């Protein structure tokens, strides 16, 4: 029987001496939830966790694209598409894109995540050269402007990733975890680019038709573990891999909430965790917010929960509201301004 160990995180200033740091963050834990398929969860002391697992849960994560992960980081979304669900068409010309880049940096984005293909539910695949034409020139313009902030290319395709990295991008963010185009794994290994591997069930065209899991939390964990192992075998070190449980990608509302509620289990993979819930349909349905552009505060509320679970990166549209949230959370957690 396979056992899974989910740290039960706390950020209270009254930290007992036996508490362990979670993934090198200021969040700590003394107990874990032991999980297994077909069994009721069991709370046990952290000291009862196998030493190898405990080492992964506690080890500080290495910097990614030059960014230290000892504090929460904001990945700002820049959709260079005509059809993304919340801002399609707003930034798909060079002038608008550069203006948005400067706005995101002014508001506090730590990474810029550029995408030329919408992966919203029902979206159709974009031809490779069209996706390259949407993304690579903007990356070149950002670098030509002297902006050195890390850039992530949000793509499922090796040729798009290769062109983006050549233009000055730093990180590959693949929502298919290299399953759509396995050659992307080779590009990452050969260029030594860090990667973000996301879980998705199905393709954007059909992923929300009938998502189904035996145990969504453990199924997604196992899938990401396989993705990480394949990446490591291909020559991508674990310390250059981020994992993302893929909220909304082939998941029902129940699935999404199960993943968010116990997201700390993914620290067991030994990689930084990225959470992307910004403005998504589930946010709108739970919060009764029909307009996607009005979902920033509700998105930040889920982000706040995630910070308390030791999540290191939040992928968001509304930079300023998340910057404020992180600043206040950090001050309260430290007990000082």
Paired tokens of 123: 């979206």
**26 catalytic, yes or no?**
no
Identified catalytic residue from 61, 295, 315, 323: 315
What is the per-residue pLDDT for 91? 63
pLDDT digits (tens, 9 = 90+) for 238-272: 999 999 999 999 999 999 999 999 999 999 999 99
How many structural domains is the chain composed of? 1
**280 catalytic, yes or no?**
yes
- The DSSP bridge pattern shows strands 313-316 and 73-79 to be parallel
What is the per-residue pLDDT for 303? 97
Decide if 30 is inside a domain: no
The overall average pLDDT reported for the chain is 93
Residue 286 pLDDT more than 70? yes
Identified catalytic residue from 240, 280, 295, 323: 280
Q: Cβ contacts of residue 77 below 8 Å, gap of 6+? A: 87, 113, 115, 278, 315, 316, 317
Closest by alpha carbon to 304, among 52, 27, 35? 27
pLDDT digits (tens, 9 = 90+) for 96-139: 888 999 999 999 999 999 999 888 777 788 999 999 999 999 99
What is the per-residue pLDDT for 205? 72
Print the domain residue range for 286.
61-334
Decide if 257 is inside a domain: yes
Compute CA 133 distance to the chain's CA centroid, rounded to the nearest angstrom.
Answer: 25
Decide if 26 is inside a domain: no
Decide if 195 is inside a domain: yes
pLDDT digits (tens, 9 = 90+) for 154-202: 999 999 999 999 999 999 999 999 999 999 999 999 999 999 999 998 7
191 DSSP 8-state letter: H
Decide if 97 is inside a domain: yes
d(CA 171, CA 152): 4
CB 77 within 8 A of CB 316: yes
Share of the chain above pLDDT 90, in %: 84
Q: Which residue has the tokens 């980081």?
A: 73
Task: For residue 112, give the CATH number of its domain.
Answer: 3.20.20.20
């Amino acid at each position: 029987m396979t056992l899974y160990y989910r740290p039960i995180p706390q950020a209270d200033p009254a930290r007992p001496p036996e508490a362990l740091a979670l993934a090198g963050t200021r969040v700590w834990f003394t107990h874990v939830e032991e999980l297994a398929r077909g069994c009721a969860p069991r709370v046990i002391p952290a000291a009862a966790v196998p030493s190898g697992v405990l080492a992964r849960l506690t080890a500080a994560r290495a910097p990614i694209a030059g960014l230290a992960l000892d504090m929460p980081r904001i990945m700002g979304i820049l959709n260079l598409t005509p059809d993304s669900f919340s801002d399609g068409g707003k930034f798909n010309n060079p002038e608008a894109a550069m203006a948005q880049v400067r706005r995101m940096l002014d508001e506090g984005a730590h990474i810029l995540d550029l995408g030329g293909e919408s992966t919203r539910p029902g979206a159709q695949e974009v031809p490779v050269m069209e996706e390259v034409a949407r993304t690579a020139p903007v990356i070149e313009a950002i670098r030509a402007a002297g902006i050195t902030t890390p850039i992530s290319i949000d793509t499922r395709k090796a040729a798009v990733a290769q062109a983006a990295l050549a233009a000055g991008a730093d990180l590959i963010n693949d929502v298919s975890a290299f399953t759509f185009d396995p050659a992307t794994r080779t590009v990452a290994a050969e260029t030594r680019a860090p990667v973000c591997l996301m879980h998705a069930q199905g393709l954007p065209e059909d992923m929300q038709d009938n998502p189904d899991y035996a145990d969504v939390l453990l199924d997604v964990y196992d899938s990401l573990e396989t993705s990480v192992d394949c990446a490591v075998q291909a020559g991508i070190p674990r310390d250059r891999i981020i994992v993302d449980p893929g909220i909304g990608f082939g998941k029902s509302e129940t699935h999404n909430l199960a993943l968010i509620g116990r997201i700390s289990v993914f620290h067991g993979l030994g990689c930084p965790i990225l959470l992307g819930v910004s403005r998504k349909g589930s946010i709108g349905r739970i919060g009764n917010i029909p307009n996607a552009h009005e979902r920033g505060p509700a998105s930040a509320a889920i982000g706040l929960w995630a910070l308390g679970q030791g999540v290191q990166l939040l992928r968001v549209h509304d930079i300023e509201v998340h910057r404020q949230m992180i600043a206040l959370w950090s001050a309260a957690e430290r007990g000082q301004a």
